[in-house]
Amino acid sequence: MIRLIDIHKDYRMGSNVVKALNGISLNINAQEFVSIMGPSGSGKSTLMNIIGALDRPTSGSYHLDGEDVSGLTDNELAVIRNRKIGFVFQTFNLLPRKTALQNVELPLIYGGMPRRARRQRARETLEMVGLGDRMDHRPSELSGGQRQRVAIARALVTSPAIVFADEPTGNLDSQTGQEIMDIFTRLNRDQKVTVLLVTHEADIATYADRVIHIRDGLIFSDEAVVSR
Amino acid sequence: MKILFSLSEATETIRHNKFRTFLTMLGMNIGVGAIIAIIAIGLMARTSIMEGVGELGAALIIVQPEYKSYDDQERPLRLAPEDGTNLARLFPEETVLPYLQGSADTSARGLTNGEQVFGVGEDYNLVWNRELEAGRFFDPEDHHLRRKVAVIGSRIARKYFGTGEAVGETLRVGAQVYTVVGVLNERGRETMNDGTGDTTIYLPLETYQSFFNHGWYGRPYLNYLLIRVENMDRINEIVSKTEIYLFSRYGFKNGEPRFRVSKSQDDINTFNKVFDVITLVISLIAGLSLLVSGMGIMNIMLVAITERTREIGIRKSLGARRRDILEQFLIEAVIICLLGGGIGVILGMLVSFLVALSQSWNYLVPLFSVAAGLGVSLVIGLFFGIYPAMRAARMDPITALSRD
């Protein structure tokens, strides 16, 4: 599903070159549930941005769902994000003036799906995350957990190859955090969705089948999680 | 389909920022409103002048001294009464109407005041068709017998005779006493005017010649004369024949004609010239106001993009391409401009309606001016909206997302 080969990423800060990633190679298969951990400055975010098709590597190659993504233009990357990736952010990143339903519809609009079909699809997805009765609420009228569920529905609505969750429980209390993690687990188990989770909380990371540690721009460890 | 989406996004944002949008549009309102108003007012004024010419059912030619040909100290040569008869003989199908004009102390029933007095030719009411409130206009005998009779404007009648009957009463004008034979109706707004009005005392030309002195001229004279031309096609021919007659009789002064022959259409030309200047000035101001408001719109769009950087990041992460973002912000700018222009159109129509009302003109707003107003708004929206929209479209999703 995801295949990274010798990914380097350099940032130029004035005359200095900062090496954020120093040659990362990584395979993630379909239907896997993988956590990525690492302290800040480890290159974790940079890796996330590259895997999420928000950024391009300086060198190395990146195949997503069989497609070489490393050399694509901005617009091509936008299409990849739209079709193959679903993002769930720590801060939810919902559009505040739109209802839950409109937020979930948004990726389908950019994907060019006709109105009737996308309404239907967005409704179904919201129902799937248990928000069938909150579709016309704006984010400000929803609790943190509900907001994150809207965000999950928005990530799932395009049936992406991979769902990306960047500290999805970071802004939630532990009870709600657990509920959210249960959703991810269920999605992975029942709907065969590939999930890539970024977190700095060890116990959250262990919801996954596999945990990858990043340090100094390199993979420090990559091990399967012994069953919980 | 995406356009529809962008449209709804833009209207949503505008609804959310009503006051800011209103302030941003003000310049557009004024600019477009001024353009619509000036075009409409120009059209209405021109139409009303044309109708004035049409009302009379004929064209008028006026012959008067050309003051420009004389030095400041010189007294211009006047037309002679024979000029009237000569021209009448020259143009048998037209009506030639001589005028004398002056002012005199007037009194009746113990009231004395200075009034405007006109001596007018026999055909006065053939040319002007003035309506009478009471009595009659002069008949040929009044002229030939130099009768001491007067026709007075409605306000003279009110002033000296109150609400009572003025016909049959006497009025002292200058050194003589005249009998009032007619009172004219109050005159409305007129586009074509001979200088007389509701405060004029009319005397038969011949009577005027007898009892008013010839001033410094030493011989009978005319202040000016009018030629009413029935067939508009002949007007230029009559103008040039009149000019030739005057040249051959009076020659030139300092190489310039002594008399000026102008036609009623010249009024329209003069009006057009003056109005073109006014139009130009107002258009310049309107253009400037549009330019400034365009920059205001650009500014507000740049602010909006900074405020909504995170939103742009979110949209990009969900798969919005550059074009999608560009479209969204460009359409927002265009809608603000079209809204501003639309309100401007309504304002302009309102202003011209009020002007039309106050001038009792027929209300006209040319469709092309409305189209032009909206077209200009559209162009401004596109022109000043493209740069902010491009900046939004080019934003890096990662930086945009990390912005608060």
In whole angstroms, what is the distance from residue A115 CA to residue A109 CA?
8
Domain segments of chain B: what residues?
Answer: 2-52+269-402, 67-257
Of B271, B185, B222, give the one whose Cα is nearest residue B86: B222
Q: What is the mean pLDDT of residues B114-135?
A: 90
With an 8 Å Cβ cutoff, is A171 touching chain B? no
* pLDDT tens, chain A, 228 aa long: 899 999 999 988 888 888 889 999 999 999 999 999 988 888 888 898 999 999 999 999 999 988 899 889 999 999 999 999 999 999 999 999 999 999 999 999 999 999 999 999 999 999 999 999 999 999 999 999 999 999 999 999 999 989 999 999 988 999 999 999 999 999 999 989 999 999 888 888 889 999 999 999 999 989 888 765
With an 8 Å Cβ cutoff, is A83 touching chain B? yes
Q: Tell if the CB–CB gap between B318 and A89 is shorter than 8 Å.
A: no
Could you tell me which residues of chain B have a Cβ less than 8 Å from any Cβ in chain A?
Answer: 1-2, 5, 12-13, 16, 310-311, 313-324, 397-398, 401
Find all residues with CB under 8 Å of A203, minimum gap 6, and list them.
none
ipTM score here? Answer: 0.94
HSE, side-chain direction, 13 A CA sphere, residue A31: 4
Assigned token pair, B24: 């941003």
Assigned token pair, B374: 């909206």
Assigned token pair, A48: 């996330």
With an 8 Å Cβ cutoff, is A33 touching chain B? no
Give the chain B residue nearest A110 (alpha carbons).
Answer: B320
pLDDT digits (tens, 9 = 90+) for B154-171: 999 999 998 888 899 999
Of B300, B307, B310, B314, give the one whose Cα is nearest residue B385: B300
In chain A, the DSSP E strands lie at 2-13, 16-28, 33-37, 59-64, 67-68, 85-88, 162-166, 194-198, 210-215, 218-224
With an 8 Å Cβ cutoff, is A72 touching chain B? no
DSSP class of residue A32 equals: -
Q: Tell if the CB–CB gap between A109 and B5 is shorter than 8 Å.
A: yes
Candidate from B16, B319, B397 with C-beta closest to A110: B319
In whole angstroms, what is the distance from residue A191 CA to residue B363 CA?
70
- Give yes or no for residue B214 having a pLDDT over 70: no
Higher per-residue confidence, B212 vs B298: B298
Output the pLDDT for position B230.
82
Task: Provide the mean pLDDT of chain B.
Answer: 88
